[in-house]
Structure 1
Amino acid sequence: MANKFTLGIISFAAALTLAACGGENADDTTQNSTTQEESNAAPENNMNGENSEAMQGMDHSNMNHSGSGEVPEGLKDATNPTFPVGSKAIIQSDHMPGMKGAEATIVGAYDTTVYTVSFTPTTGGNPVTNHKWVIHEELEGVGEGVLQPGTKATINADHMKGMKGATATIDSAEETTVYMVDFTSTTGEQVTNHKWVTENELSAQ
């Protein structure tokens, strides 16, 4: 009888030990599963961040890099541009892939106010923020005074898909000389009448 009693106690203790081990394994499995889910989610979150950033003005793949050469009504030629029409300069901005470092030929030089703007394309999609550049003469019904940050105006330019007719919020404003340029990008694309490059985005050869 004593042996049976002792054997029963040992069996009971063994069962408790196995249950405890099973509980630890279950916790480990849950923890590992959670860790794996977090690991899998991380790239997705990073991707969403990158896409969000790209859609907010960093991605200019929808831009019309070449233009017609026409300029808005009322835009005045620069009186004494640093880079006269016909001269060459090196582009220091990167509005599009292959732009920075390309040699530009100056097609037009104009004194105006340039704005960075944020807007939601008329074609839908995520907002574009801090788009460079829209000039004063490309905004409808704004008069002659420089617009302050936060001001809203309708864009009358089609530098990129869904821009024309969109309501812009002014992010920044600067009175300067802007240039229309021809260039061959460092990736081999021929671009003509590109609008716009500002004075401080060009350097002498």
Structure 2
Amino acid sequence: MRKRLTMTLAAGVLGGALLLTGCSSGDQDPSKAGPHHGGSSSTSSPASSDGGMDHSSMEHPMDGGPAPAGIEKAASPKYPVGTQVILTADHMMGMDGAKATIVGAYDTYTYAVNFTPTTGGEPVKDHKWVVQQEIKDAGSKQLADGTEVTLEAEHMKGMKGAKATIASSTDETVYMVDYEAGGMKMTNHKWVVESEIKPAS
């Protein structure tokens, strides 16, 4: 009887240890980082141990690709193509204070939007930015805050085709930039508006 009780207790302790091991291994998934781009989302992105970007949450492609069809180049932008500037936007970890080169300057309406990715997951709040030409059937007039739209931009996974709400807008000149931060080079990054840029010293 005593031998059977000892074996039962040993099996229970072993089973409990295996159960605890299984739980702890599933809780530390670095790929489950939140969105990195937007207003409040960017500040919640975790930093890597070396103080740079957390590459596991980098959802934007390294090359943002060409400007959307139909967008109008700015006639006399404050920062012409080729200008070296400093970014003051904090859309992504490491962006604020980064040196950048202007690769495109455009006149259009630019929007911050709230949307839920088509791939599921948490809603993205105050994503900056999408331009008029990246919104389905947007027309030529500035859209009012609160307008519900469908996104055609592909800045990040799950964005194209997503239903979104306009959070705010601006008619500032909007720019595409090349910049480097956290050891990663981003080309044709969309978008930063004029008030998010300062001259390089």
Tell me the TM-score normalised to structure 1 length.
0.70
Query: What code does the residue aligned with 2:151 have?
Result: I
More helix by share: 1
Name the structure 2 match of 1:197.
192
Name the structure 1 match of 2:178.
182
For residue 176 of structure 1, give the secondary structure of its aligned residue in structure 2: coil
Query: Which sections of structure 2, spanning at least 5 residues, go unmatched?
Result: 1-33, 46-56
Name the structure 1 match of 2:41.
57
Query: What code does the residue aligned with 2:171 have?
Result: E
1:106-117 map, 5 Å: 106-117=102-113
> Does the Cα contact within 8 Å between 1:62 and 1:161 map onto a contact in 2?
no
Query: What code does the residue aligned with 2:102 have?
Result: I
For residue 101 of structure 2, give the secondary structure of its aligned residue in structure 1: strand
**Aligned pair in 2 of structure 1 residues 153, 52: CA closer, same or farther (>3 Å)?**
closer
* Deviation of the 1:71 alpha carbon: 1.3
**RMSD of aligned alpha carbons:** 2.3
Q: Does 1:79 align with 2:79?
A: no
* Deviation of the 1:81 alpha carbon: 0.6
Q: Partners of 1:157 and 1:57 in 2: how far apart? A: 18
Tell me the TM-score normalised to structure 2 length.
0.71
* Deviation of the 1:62 alpha carbon: 4.5
Count of matched residue pairs:
155
Name the structure 1 match of 2:12.
none
Query: What code does the residue aligned with 1:98 have?
Result: G
Q: Partners of 2:155 and 2:127 in 1: how far apart? A: 10
Identical aligned residues as a percent: 49
Query: What code does the residue aligned with 2:186 have?
Result: V
Name the structure 2 match of 1:42.
none
Query: Which sections of structure 1, spanning at least 5 residues, go unmatched?
Result: 1-50
